[in-house]
Chains A and B, each alone.
Chain A
Amino acid sequence: MSTSNTTVILPIKSSKSKDFSDFFSKLVESIQKQKVLPTEFIIVPTAEESLQIFLTDYDFGDLQNIVKIETYEGEPSFQAQVNYGVSKATNEWVSFCEFDDEYSAIWFKNVEIHKQAYPDSQAFLPVVVDVDDKNQFAGFTNEATFAANFNLDYGIVTNELLARFQNFQSSGMVIKKETFLDYGGFKDSMKLTFVYEFLMRMTYNSAIIRTIPKIGYKHTNMRLGSIFWNYKFGESPLSPDEAKFWLEVAKKEYFFIQDREIKYEPELVDESIVSSNGN
């Protein structure tokens, strides 16, 4: 079996989500089925007891010897857990995933092919198949990199492209660990648009991110209890104003590598948008 010097990082907040066990098993299987196997699988759970027990008891089969559990003791968040996982990775490349998603079996093989073909690359995005909670096809993500009518740099995610199109996915991405850390990783305080801000920051700093035109990852959209489901339907959903606020913040914050811990303050929204228009 061929291997890739890549660490897969899986942050998990809780095992109490609906169908957690089924989703988790499918993700693990999708890693087992890879034609080129990553050599490290770091799971970053919170200290939640049931989750810890689940992971301890889980049979990872032939992945057992590459699995590492690195519990995150701080305030749980996707971004902070990913950052923590990356800091623990021992490989040159890292890839993030979510427990309710799946890699396609060809993904890491294609990453290796593209690493050889384009050695200047610092990150690779997959074409993501979005499915609904019934596993029905909903659309593709990251494919806009190839939309020739609005991306002049075919196949490459550029700052100009991101300025015009915001909908990109980082899950499934394979990125150099060093690049991720040098550019500051995900910003924990950034809500909703943390992926967008991260990609803007990367491209602003001239990182070369290529989308590989192959189905590399399957993403479940709006799963009950997921981070984006909570933004829309959770106990304190994001208002349209707040969503607009985070988009504007992302467009301003990507100049800064450090997380400046911006907080949403409703009364400042209009002012913020006004000032971004330069009026």
Chain B
Amino acid sequence: MTDNIVKIEKTISTLKNGTNKFYFFVQDTKGNPKASIKYIYDLANALKQNGKNSIILFEEKGYTSHKTWLGEGYEDLEENYVNGQNLQVGVEDFLIIPELLGYIIEQVQNLPCGKIIITQAYDHIFETLKPGQSWNGFGVYKCLTTSEVLAEKVRDIFRSVSVDVLPVPLSKYATEKDKPAKPIIAIHSREQRDSLNLIKTFYQKYPQYRWFTFRDMRSMNQDQFYEPLKDACVSVWIDEKSSFGTYPLESMASGTPVIGRIPYIEPEWINEKNGIWTTNNFDLVDILAEYIKNWLEDNVAETLIQEGLDTAKKYQNQDDFVSLSNQLFEEYVSNRVQSLEQQLDKLKPVEAEL
């Protein structure tokens, strides 16, 4: 047998016995929490829990571990960094790269391993691609995303890339509040200036509500995040570029009604009953003041909270997420095995002739 056949057979065997590795690239945010990074850790953790070798990979040595803000449950997950160009990846391994680190695809294009792109924000897809470049041009034919809406957009752009959907799981801490809400307004925006603009306008326009406190929910550790969210009487969400909307779902799961700006790509879970939605940032301040007036008088419809809880429930099942993640990655492995076996079939007759 030629070396090639031996190598392929070995790779197939490694893939079949599950000893291959899944490398998940993540951005180093220097310890700043980001929902998109938590999703990748959750994914890696789900595979780890089922005995697979998942490894979190940073680009540089001096990285700050995300475990510092993720809270309990990620202790066993291995973190490592790429030392220059010496990424030791076998044919049997998989590289999972977030769209934001798209430039890595170019760097790893010649590696013979499996490559999967994770897309969580439409806005970031082309951020690191040059005009005319596409994922498949670098040998990437698999994409994993968080919603059907976003999957459709990706399919529309990269027609030869197969797209799978795995919704974001909400944290185990995202549970319904058990104490009455306080005059706290939780606010989350992609750009901090959007929050600040809203807060300043609100206090200026409605000075009678200056005793309501705004809590900026950006960049909070998981274990500190849910207490103020549950304390809040309302949650404001301003993120036009979001493609999934973890924050409003977490608010709904906490029993905190959401006032939100509908993103350009409307998340599939939004409906007219589960939140107060607008397409205009300027309306948010007046909607918030109106909401507060009603909240102070107990005039907020119970159905608003209940619909929110029902919507969030679909994303709260951790077991489902673990099982779906494993199912999906087992499918990736099986596809790879299939393709290697086809290569093997082509090589073997050639060898027989020799």
Contact = CB atoms under 8 A, between A and B. Distances in A.
Interface of A: 104, 106, 109-110, 113-114, 117-118, 127, 137, 139-140, 143-144, 146-148, 154-155, 212-215
A128 to B, nearest CB: 12
Contacts, number: 41
A5 B327 CA distance: 57
B231 to A, nearest CB: 9
B297 interface: yes
B296 A146 contact: no
B182 A214 contact: no
Given A117-B180, A146-B182, A140 B298 contact: no
Contacts of B298: 106, 109-110, 214
Contacts of B212: 146
- Top 5 closest pairs, chain A to chain B, by CB: A106-B298, A143-B211, A213-B183, A148-B213, A117-B179
Contacts of A104: 297
A214 B297 contact: yes
B208 interface: yes
A104 B296 CA distance: 11
A213 B233 CA distance: 10
Contact of B211 (A109, A147, A212, A214): A147
B179 A213 contact: no
Contacts of B181: 213
A146 B208 CA distance: 13
A104 B297 CA distance: 8
A140 B208 contact: yes
Interface in B176-193: 178-183
B211 A140 contact: yes
Nearest to A104: B297
Contact of A106 (B208, B213, B297): B297
Interface string B233-259: 100000000000000000000000000
Nearest to B181: A213
Given A140-B208, A146-B212, A155 B297 contact: no
- What is the interface of chain A mostly: helix, strand, loop, or mixed? mixed
Contacts of B211: 140, 143-144, 146-147
B297 to A, nearest CB: 5
Nearest to A145: B211
A127 B182 contact: no
Given A146-B213, A147-B211, A114 B182 contact: no
B208 A213 contact: no
Q: Most chain-B Cβ atoms within 10 A of its Cβ — which of A137, A143, A155, A213?
A: A213
Given A139-B208, A212-B180, A215-B296, 5 more contacts: A104-B297, A113-B180, A144-B211, A147-B210, A154-B182
Contacts of B213: 146, 148
B182 A213 contact: yes
Contacts of B182: 146, 154-155, 213
A113 B180 CA distance: 7
Interface string B193-217: 0000000000000001011110000
A113 B179 CA distance: 9
Contacts of B233: 213
18 contacts: A104-B297, A106-B297, A109-B298, A118-B179, A140-B208, A140-B211, A144-B211, A146-B182, A146-B183, A146-B211, A146-B212, A147-B210, A148-B213, A154-B182, A213-B181, A213-B233, A214-B298, A215-B296
A174 to B, nearest CB: 15
A215 B297 contact: yes
Residue picked from A106, A110, A143, most chain B C-beta under 10 Å: A143
A110 B181 CA distance: 11
A53 to B, nearest CB: 36
Nearest to B183: A213
B296 A214 contact: yes
Contacts of B208: 137, 139-140
A110 B299 CA distance: 13
A214 B181 CA distance: 10
A106 B295 CA distance: 11
Nearest to A144: B211
A114 B183 CA distance: 14
Given A144-B211, A148-B213, A127 B296 contact: yes
A142 B299 CA distance: 21
The residue in A113, A117, A214, A215 that gathers the most chain B C-beta atoms within 10 A of its C-beta is A214
Contacts of A106: 297-298
A106 B182 CA distance: 16
B300 to A, nearest CB: 11
Contacts of A118: 179
A93 B212 CA distance: 29
A139 B213 CA distance: 18
Nearest to A109: B298
Nearest to B215: A148
A117 B208 CA distance: 27
Nearest to A140: B208
A146 to B, nearest CB: 5
A118 B179 CA distance: 9
A243 B178 CA distance: 44
A154 B211 CA distance: 11
Nearest to B177: A117
A154 to B, nearest CB: 7
Contacts of A212: 180
Contacts of A146: 182-183, 211-213
A44 to B, nearest CB: 30
A131 to B, nearest CB: 13
A113 B298 CA distance: 12
Contacts of B183: 143, 146, 213
